[in-house]
Chains A and B, each alone.
Chain A
Amino acid sequence: MISLNKVGKEFRRDRWGVKDISFTIDKGEFVVLTGPSGAGKTTLMKLLSFEQQPSTGELLLEGRANGRVKKRELPYVRRRIGVVFQDFRLLPDRTAYENVAFVLRATGAGRKGLHRRVVRALALVGLSGRGDAMPSELSGGEQQRIGLARAIVSDPFLVLADEPTGNLDDDNKREVFKILRKVAAGGTAVLVATHDLNVAREFRARTLILDKGRLVKDAPAGSESEAALAAVAPHVSRPVRTGMNV
């Protein structure tokens, strides 16, 4: 279980990235995290991935507290977290298969079972036949699915995806969300930070809404949260016009 109790991150004096955040995520839960730009989504993701330590409060992942884990033990905590990036971050010099296997090799997982695990991860993202392809030969959607396979190949407790669909078209967005929900169904906790509420809403996931560093809404799965979303953070539920992002 992941639990946050009044977690805050202060960057400079009185400049808080996030403040007073409390929630828990259970094994197998599929959770969407949203909010306007600058609401603190990325900060929260970095706290959850143990990249940054909270300034206040307590963040526990499987009983281990962020900030009190010894530097030496940090790698072992990170092995319990799979991370999916907006920009995929595949290593361009090796095949899709090797990109997925990289995680297992770098963490010293035994050679026994390595192939089976990689094949299973590739199958889960629907790319069984593309293992030999180099990243440059894959479409954006396919690259991100390799990124997903890489995040889950080590059977993590938690998968964190920060804007995993930011660079994808609608069909591919849907595909990525489908896979993430499938991963959650397999017992992994999944947290997706996204702007793509239109797609996210289709999946009727539990939704956490951040605004100005605060958790303003925790809408349970399957709830009709649209009205609440519009009320609390109107700028979130409105489709973002691409022209405004430039």
Chain B
Amino acid sequence: MNTFLFTLREGVLNLRRSPMLAVSSVAVMGLSLFVLGIFLLLTVNLRAAIVAVQSQVEVAVFVQDGLRDVELQSLDRFLREHPGVSSVSYLTRDDAMARFRSELSQKEYLLEALEANPLPDTFEVALFDDWKTTERIAEFATQIEGMAGVDEVKWGKDWVGRLNRVIVILVLVDLFLGIVVALSSMVVVANTVKLTLIARREMIELMKMVGATIGVIRRPFVIEGVLQGTVAACLATALLVTLTGFLQDRVPELIELSIPIFAIFVGFGAFLGGLGSVVSLQGFLRKW
């Protein structure tokens, strides 16, 4: 406790003593974090895009003609109670035709040749996300196809498989980039902190000589690093918000980073600053 105030004061003083060094450290850290933030922004939007595309995966269950109400109801109940199904809507052949017509709009004349409505009654089934893999949908479709009253089950077999492969690749690339960006910002921060330490080598030596414990020697630098990291992350946040606003004027669909993500982001900046100090100090204190 006696040393706590001392180390806190020294940490804050460190920043004031060499403002240029503090400013450049914050700038370098801020820019690294900004790059990390851009990556986060891309990731969030990539995920949203994947979810949006995946939500369009649907299974259409075509029902045989002239099915009795009882059979229809039991089919309906089965679908609704299935664990993989998130929602079911029933479309009569007339509804289906009406929708078809509206989708054709100007080209309704194409339907004039039809004598009767060729479309079947349909259950449109939406699945939960974890059921949207090729294997699980295929399994689901086979199960439904075997049921009484079902004429045919349709789903974008090739399309879903390809989509899932693309998603896997995108997520891996994203993860790889994330690791690279995070690591490089850590290296940059550690090097920046090392500059601060070199500037303060005399003080570290002196503290060592007068019998300060490693903890007491380290703490002002960790406090300094945490403060710098926090300020840097706040700066990076400001830049990111500005960038997002600018982009949203052009791409309105762009999703901005949420406040909890920013909170984690600022926390990460503080952690990075502190960690940078600890890692860089290790070299200094090894020869004890």
Q: Compute how far the CA of A78 lies from the CA of B207 in the bound complex, rounded to whole angstroms.
A: 10
Tell me if A185 is interfacial: C-beta within 8 Å of chain B.
no
Is A129's beta carbon under 8 Å from chain B? Answer: no
B211 touches A79 (CB 8 A): yes
Q: Interface size (B, Cβ < 8 Å)?
A: 19
For residue B210, which residues in chain A have a CB less than 8 angstroms away from its CB? 78-79, 83, 102-103, 106-107, 150, 154
Separation of A154 and B209 alpha carbons in the complex (Å): 12
Verify A106–B3 contact, CB threshold 8 A: yes
A87 to B138, CA, bound (A): 81
Q: Does B117 contact A (CB under 8 A)?
A: no
**Inter-subunit contact A110/B2 (CB<8 Å):** yes
A79 to B207, CA, bound (A): 10
Q: Determine whether A75 belongs to the interface, using a CB cutoff of 8 Å to chain B.
A: yes
Contact A91 B2 (CB under 8 A): no
Interface flag for A108 (CB, 8 Å): yes
With A71-B288, A105-B6, A106-B207 known as contacts, the answer to whether A89 contacts B202 (CB < 8 A) is: yes
Chain A residue nearest to B287 (CB atoms) is: A51
Chain B interface helix/strand/loop/mixed: helix
Q: How many residues of A contact B (CB 8 A)?
A: 25
The answer to whether B211 touches A109, judged by C-beta atoms less than 8 angstroms apart, is no
Rounded to whole angstroms, the CA-CA distance of A199 and B206 in the bound complex is 28
B208 & A78 in contact (Cβ 8 Å cutoff): yes
| Residues of chain B with a CB closer than 8 A to A107's CB | 3, 210-212, 216
With A and B bound together, what is the CA distance between A93 and B16 in angstroms? 10
- Give the one of B207, B209, B216, B288 with max A CB within 10 A: B209
Which residues of B approach A to under 8 Å, CB–CB?
2-3, 6, 13, 17, 202-203, 205-214, 216, 288
A-B contact pairs, 10 of them (CB 8 A): A75-B211, A76-B211, A79-B210, A83-B209, A89-B205, A91-B202, A91-B203, A106-B3, A106-B207, A107-B212
